[in-house]
Chains A and B, each alone.
Chain A
Amino acid sequence: MRKIIAFFFVLISLNCFSQNKQLLYNFTSVPQSLMTNPGADFKYKYYFGVPLLSGFSFKTASSGFSAYDLFANDGVDFNQKLRNVVYSTSRRDHAAVNEQIEILNGGIKLGDWLDNKGYLSFGLYQEFDFFSYMPKDLAILALDGNQNYIGKSFNLADLSVKAEAVTVLHLGYHKNLSEKLIVGARGKVYFSGFNATSTQNSGSIITTNSNTTVYNQIINSNLELKTSGVSKYTTDEYDGDVAGDIQKQMLFGGDLGLGFDLGFTYYPKKNTQITASILDVGFVNHSKDVENYTLKGYYNYQGINPDFSNTDDPESIYDDFREAIPLDTLYTKYTTWRPVKLNASYQYSFGTATDEDCVCIAGEKSYKNAVGAQLFVMSTPRTPITALTGFYRRNVSDKLHLKATYTLDSYSYTNIGLGLSADIGKFNMYFMADNLLEYRDVSKANSLSFQFGFNFIFKDSNEPPYSQ
């Protein structure tokens, strides 16, 4: 019991996610921008990422509290800090972690230099996701009990949590339909390492004063936890390496799913760009090693009440309760939907690099500066998460690109991010981090993310291959 509670709070306090990659999105000097928009305006002859190092991203976010609030080494009793956090947050506050690591990533232009047959990109990455709302009412009940809350209905729907690890194999294609329009799509196959989902909960626990018995006490429970790929690790007999076994399971033993990304880039004018993408429209079908636990039922607790007129068998409250709200284990398959992400941007470019005689180079690369706005929306078990970003992009040279962002979301109003992409010969590296102001003290941050990676990019050129 204690272990479970401790694990839960540690997980939450990792300050975990939202998958908003506002720096990477449309940062088209980095190949990984294709992962946030399959229709990004990224041209290449071919590229490949340094295996395991081409793309690493980590994002943690929690609205309402930070790791510092819970774990500050300040002599204050941990239980008091926990209580402060629980009481200062609402059921809408949440904690999230998202971690992605690219194992392989590459792309190639189809056809030769004159052809417009489009570009392929493909790869394999692993992703870990955790998302939990603040289970406020349950936390109050666990911390303080119902003594001071006679009349309050504790909402069991406050419990909404999910965690999963998937390996994603993907193949994307994008093509210039015209000089103004680029469209792209990416198909994805998900291999689920494990999944635990408890997001469809409802019910209540309520104690009110009564005229007959002292209290009227009703538990109306509709709780469900679905798991796949987990049960074998929780048995007593298991003594293996959990991390290693889950890794294997993520590729070979796990459940399968399918999904897709779509996106486009459109230039209404040469200096104006509109993009949009929808990512991870997909599902995973959980059928292997499934164990679903339910606590469903209705129980009205009236006490241990004698009945002097009948000499019936004594009733057992304990058994009554277990029969009314039984803990059942089911083995039925289930399907989970991937969190869908929506990105959109508007960009205005200005300041040409070569405004002397010839402004004849096509595409945005001829501009030194760009400003614009981005919108990010992601589905969650309840209302979607939204973030709005303003950005400035500067192409310092052909080889050095910078992007600065200011993002408004439910985690903070002071999220400033900086991204950098540099080419040294064919070698490309990028680093991006947001919430830079929070780096003054990361433990107090509500949200942090960073991404980095290394690639080799062989640029698409308008020149014949052997003319250089």
Chain B
Amino acid sequence: MKKYYLLKITCWAFLIMSTFSCSSDLNFDQVNDLKLQPVVEGNLSYFNVAATDFLADNGSEYNLVLDSQDFDIFRDRYLNDYLQKADLHFEITNTINRAFKADILLLNDNDQVLYTISFDIPASAGTPTVISKMEIFENAKLQLLKNTRKLQFALTVKSGPAFNSNSTGNLILRSSATVYLEIE
């Protein structure tokens, strides 16, 4: 008799528990919808060239200075896949009393120019000249950025008062990138 009593209690306990127990509708497949969309801010480029940097040792003037840098971030297969859009922000400040043309060339592996970002920079007349520009790379244009492996910077000095060792002022580029990624 006692055994039945025990069994009864046990059964009741579990019956009650299972009756009250329930679970809301869960769907674990939702993990497949996981999509990370981070927006990353980063430095793109910076230079600060003094007026005297355009003077050669013999006192003559360079009217074109060039430098190339590797740009191989998108060599990374994953980053290349994840990249959806990139906004490149540029800000050039000129305190030199000469006008410039600045070009940033996007080159591929074979040094072919894929895209050129150009700036016409007026001379400074006592106050700094500031030029801002934003280049948005998305859709077809984005592919150009993804194929870029090198950046070439070219500064062309336009005509104006000749430089000498007492020339003052600087040409400064500050540039950043806003990179939109999508990781699925």
Which residues does A use to contact B, with CB under 8 Å? 1-2, 5-6, 9-10, 13, 67-68, 70-73, 77-79, 81-82, 141-148, 150, 207, 212-215, 217, 301-309, 311, 314-319, 397, 399-400, 418, 420, 422, 424, 429, 431, 433, 436, 439-444
Contacts and interface: CB of A to CB of B under 8 A. Distances in A.
A15 B27 CA distance: 15
B26 A71 contact: yes
Interface of B: 2-3, 6-7, 9-10, 13-14, 17, 20-28, 30-49, 53, 65-73, 75-76, 78, 89, 150-151, 153, 155, 174-176, 178-179, 181, 183-184
Given A9-B31, A307-B67, 4 more contacts: A146-B41, A318-B76, A422-B9, A433-B17
Contact of B69 (A81, A306, A424): A306
B38 A145 contact: yes
A311 B10 CA distance: 86
Contacts of B76: 318
Given A79-B33, A213-B46, A316-B70, A400 B9 contact: yes
B40 A422 contact: no
A9 B32 CA distance: 11
Contact of A9 (B34, B41, B153): B34
A67 B26 contact: yes
A315 B41 contact: no
Contacts of B179: 145
Given A1-B78, A9-B34, A67-B26, A318 B72 contact: yes
Given A2-B34, A301-B42, A301-B43, A212 B3 contact: no
Contacts of A302: 43, 46
A147 B40 contact: yes
Contacts of A215: 41-43, 176
Interface of chain A: mostly helix, strand, loop or mixed: mixed
Contact of B6 (A207, A418, A422, A436): A422
A315 B46 contact: no
B40 A317 contact: no
Given A145-B181, A147-B39, A424 B31 contact: no
A442 B23 CA distance: 5
Given A2-B34, A77-B33, A306 B175 contact: no
A70 B20 CA distance: 23
Contacts of A73: 24-27, 30
A239 to B, nearest CB: 24
30 contacts: A5-B183, A9-B34, A10-B31, A70-B30, A72-B26, A73-B26, A78-B33, A79-B34, A141-B38, A142-B36, A142-B38, A142-B183, A143-B38, A145-B179, A145-B181, A147-B40, A147-B41, A212-B46, A212-B174, A215-B41, A301-B42, A305-B47, A306-B151, A308-B65, A318-B72, A400-B9, A418-B13, A422-B6, A440-B21, A442-B22
A141 B32 CA distance: 20
B131 to A, nearest CB: 15
A399 B45 contact: no
A433 B44 CA distance: 58
Contacts of B2: 397, 399
Contact of B43 (A2, A142, A217, A420): A217
B110 to A, nearest CB: 15
Contacts of A13: 28
B53 A308 contact: yes
Most B C-beta atoms less than 10 A away, residue of A436, A439, A442, A443 = A439
Nearest to A145: B38
Contacts of B10: 420, 422, 429, 431
A146 B28 CA distance: 29
Nearest to A320: B70
B46 A214 contact: yes
A231 B139 CA distance: 40
A305 B183 contact: no
B174 to A, nearest CB: 5
B26 A68 contact: yes
A439 B14 CA distance: 12
Given A79-B35, A307-B67, A440 B42 contact: no
B48 A212 contact: yes
Contacts of B71: 304, 317
Contacts of A436: 17
A217 B42 contact: yes
Contacts of B34: 2, 5-6, 9, 78-79, 82
Nearest to A210: B43
Contacts of B176: 214-215, 303
A67 B26 CA distance: 8
B104 to A, nearest CB: 9
Contact of A5 (B36, B39, B49): B36
Given A5-B36, A442-B22, A71 B13 contact: no
